[in-house]
Amino acid sequence: MKLILVAGARPNFIKIAPICDELKQKKGIDYYIFHTGQHYDENMSKTFFDQLGIPEPDKNINAGSNSHAVQTAEIMIGFEKVLNDYKPDIVIVVGDVNSTLACALVAAKQNIPVAHVEAGLRSYNWRMPEEINRVLTDRLSQFLFTTCEDANENLKREGINPEKIYFVGNVMIDTLLKFKRIPMEHDILQDLNLNSKNYALLTMHRPVNVDSIDNLFDIIDALYEVQKQVKVVYPVHPRARKKIIEFGLEKKFEEMDNFTMIDPLCYLDFLHLMDNARFVLTDSGGIQEETTILGIPCITLREETERPITVTEGTNVVVGRDKNKILTEVSKILNGKGKTGRIPPKWDGMTAQRIVDILIQKQNLINKSKELMIL
């Protein structure tokens, strides 16, 4: 069996790492890693490959940052050449970034089966580019690997054949559980002069939050009050930094005495920083899941989430940009009344194994059918 794994952005690397680990242990499988270069910053890309033990990409087209149309088109053109040369049996795409949809579309048009890891998640907010990517990728896929029962139901309501849906768990959690056990070579807390459970961690990069000066200003206004109560650490995503500078808001951040902005972190440092935080403020979907596993209270700075299981079963509370709601949740946490949760089913570190086993089983059935047709 010949597979292509597609990755382009930080969350993708975290998701393909355990799949690569599993494929290495299987005989008779040849796999090719296609890196779109959607995330090109070293701390957002190369460092992740190195730390997570992902083999060097077979191809990196360095698509970089651009408009959605240009970026998607460049990835499609580059991926078509790879498909023509490699001729895989299956293309595996993960998550919901532009790389995911671009490669799924090219593969589907060449009648190559697509396996979508993290299928069925829905925010029902069509203003989010990720929602468009998720829905269209699912329509194009033959294998829909889901993280939770909510995702299964979403797909069934949309008319997806249930035989294509496989509830396997959360592959991102495979990576988290593996690397959480590995001792740190150096202590990021010491580097930043932090004490465990004595600071809050912020991540913020979604267009809805950072591409609008009004929305960004509302969040900064809330953060100003938060940092009066607890130190806040913000690893700044490159696109967020660009917008902060463009809007002339650097001074607003500099005025906060108990607020630290740092460059993006490698995976292990960020995981350690998150695991030791008192709570996390975020607009990232993946971090909502990771905090649920770590038992860290999570305050989501969006109006909705495509991962409702992190709210119903996890530690997540969705507050949007409402200053009062943000401060209310922060107060609860600091007073020992933060949200607690439990670990969702199949978030057990075995998801990649389930995915690969299913693909092998199905490929064996396909091969057997071909043999019977020949006979």
SS3 content of the chain, % helix, strand, coil (to 5): 50, 15, 35
Nearest to 94 by CA among 11, 177, 1: 11
pLDDT at 369: 54
In DSSP terms, 233 is beta-bridged to 201, 260
**From CA 20, how far away is CA 55, in angstroms rounded?**
8
Regions in the chain scoring below 70 on pLDDT: 39-45, 366, 368-375
Q: Is residue 182 part of a domain?
A: no
Whether the model pTM is above 0.85: yes
Q: Is residue 137 part of a domain?
A: yes
- Find all residues with CB under 8 Å of 303, minimum gap 6, and list them: 125, 318, 320
**From CA 49, how far away is CA 30, in angstroms rounded?**
19
Q: Is residue 122 part of a domain?
A: yes
When divided into structural domains, the chain yields a total of 2
Q: Is residue 124 part of a domain?
A: yes
Shared domain for 13 and 145, answered yes or no, is: yes
Nearest to 236 by CA among 262, 201, 274: 262
pLDDT at 146: 98
Find the CATH number of the domain harbouring 90: 3.40.50.2000
Shared domain for 264 and 209, answered yes or no, is: yes
In DSSP terms, 92 is beta-bridged to 5, 115
Type of residue at 359: L
Q: Phi, psi (5° rounding) for residue 7? A: -145, 145
Q: Which helix (H) or strand (E) holds 48?
A: helix 46-52
Shared domain for 8 and 127, answered yes or no, is: yes
Q: Which domain holds residue 245?
A: 188-334
Cβ count near 85 (within 10 Å): 9
**From CA 339, how far away is CA 247, in angstroms rounded?**
34
pLDDT at 373: 47
pLDDT at 172: 97
Contact 279, 333 (CB under 8 A): yes
Count how many Cα atoms sit within 13 Å of the Cα of residue 195 in the half-sphere of its side chain: 2
pLDDT at 356: 97
Q: Phi, psi (5° rounding) for residue 86? A: -90, -35
- Find all residues with CB under 8 Å of 292, minimum gap 6, and list them: 298, 309, 310, 313, 314, 315, 316, 341, 343, 344, 347
Type of residue at 282: T
pLDDT at 375: 46
Shared domain for 321 and 366, answered yes or no, is: no
Q: Is residue 270 part of a domain?
A: yes
Shared domain for 309 and 330, answered yes or no, is: yes
Cα distances (angstroms) measured from residue 141 to each of 74, 94, 155:
21, 11, 12
Cα distances (angstroms) measured from residue 334 to each of 145, 229, 235, 331:
38, 9, 22, 5
Nearest to 114 by CA among 89, 79, 77: 89
Shared domain for 102 and 26, answered yes or no, is: yes
Shared domain for 20 and 163, answered yes or no, is: yes
Shared domain for 20 and 138, answered yes or no, is: yes
Shared domain for 12 and 68, answered yes or no, is: yes
Q: Is residue 292 part of a domain?
A: yes
Q: Hey, which residues are catalytic here?
A: 205
Shared domain for 220 and 166, answered yes or no, is: no
Q: Is residue 262 part of a domain?
A: yes
Q: Is residue 179 part of a domain?
A: no
Shared domain for 232 and 194, answered yes or no, is: yes
**From CA 223, how far away is CA 16, in angstroms rounded?**
34
pLDDT at 186: 76
Shared domain for 36 and 58, answered yes or no, is: yes
Rg of the Cα trace of the chain?
A: 21
**From CA 333, how far away is CA 1, in angstroms rounded?**
50
